[in-house]
Amino acid sequence: MYFPSGFRRGVIGLMALVFAVTPALGQRHAPSREDAGRLRSKIDAISRNAGSSPSAPLVTRVTEQEVNAYLLYDAGDQLPAGLTEPRITVLADGSLSGTAIVDLDAVRQQRQSRGWLDPLNYLTGKVPVAVSGRLDANGGMARFALETAKVGGVPVPKMVVQELVTFYSRTESNPRGLNLDDPYPLPARIQQIEVRPGEALVKQ
């Protein structure tokens, strides 16, 4: 869950922060390479528009089908280490809910333990991590408000999710990583992401 300078990797970082989710509501077929290609083209268009001077207002419709296909076929080397099988969806009330498989042993090997106070010391193996919450993305900034979280099907407190977010979002310039309660900047001059059931409108 990190946010490097490249827009494509920034998008993956944003997806990973919300990690992902159950099959999309109303999804009629499995994600395809064609769906992934459509999102790839949209990301390229958003990136080109961000690089223009001045950038023109642009609204891009992105569907769950396209996002999940992109995560499946194109995002492998851009996903954080130890995180696999992510999926993303939007529920009818506009909240996000979902799962990803997280290799907690790999996470633990790459981070410094805080001893018996470290909640990740008591979790092992590859487990499904499920989260739900709301994404508020306006004014060029975004924040994910966590509502529920489960690891291996067991409800866990927010601090467990925060430990994972901290680990995945650390960079040389920000070694402490992201705080779930803090807003973070959207990439590519994106000003707003309007979440709707089955889709999102990305507004530059």
Query: For 74-84, how does the pLDDT look when each residue is reduced to its tens digit (9 = 90+)?
Result: 887 777 778 88
Q: What is the pLDDT of residue 126?
A: 92
**120 against 40, higher pLDDT:** 40
Query: For 1-18, how does the pLDDT look when each residue is reduced to its tens digit (9 = 90+)?
Result: 333 334 444 444 444 444
**40 against 30, higher pLDDT:** 40
Q: In the structure, how many helices (H) and strands (E) does the chain have?
A: 5, 9
Query: For 106-130, how does the pLDDT look when each residue is reduced to its tens digit (9 = 90+)?
Result: 887 777 666 656 777 777 889 999 8
* Average pLDDT of the chain, as a whole number: 80
CA distance 24 to 41: 21
CA distance 88 to 151: 17
Q: What is the pLDDT of residue 3?
A: 34
Tokens of 132: 């739900």
Are the CB atoms for 132 and 158 separated by under 8 Å? no
Give the position of tokens 């970082």: 13
Q: Does pLDDT of 137 surpass 80?
A: yes
Q: What are phi and psi of 94, to 5 degrees?
A: 90, -5
Supply the DSSP string of 30-94, one letter for each residue: ---HHHHHHHHHHHHHHHHHHHSSSPPP-EEEEEHHHHHHHHHHT-GGGSPTTEE-----B-TTS
**79 against 203, higher pLDDT:** 203
Query: For 50-67, how does the pLDDT look when each residue is reduced to its tens digit (9 = 90+)?
Result: 988 877 899 999 988 898
Closest by Cα among 107, 114, 119 to 170? 107
pTM higher than the cut 0.85: no
CA distance 141 to 183: 6
CA distance 24 to 73: 17
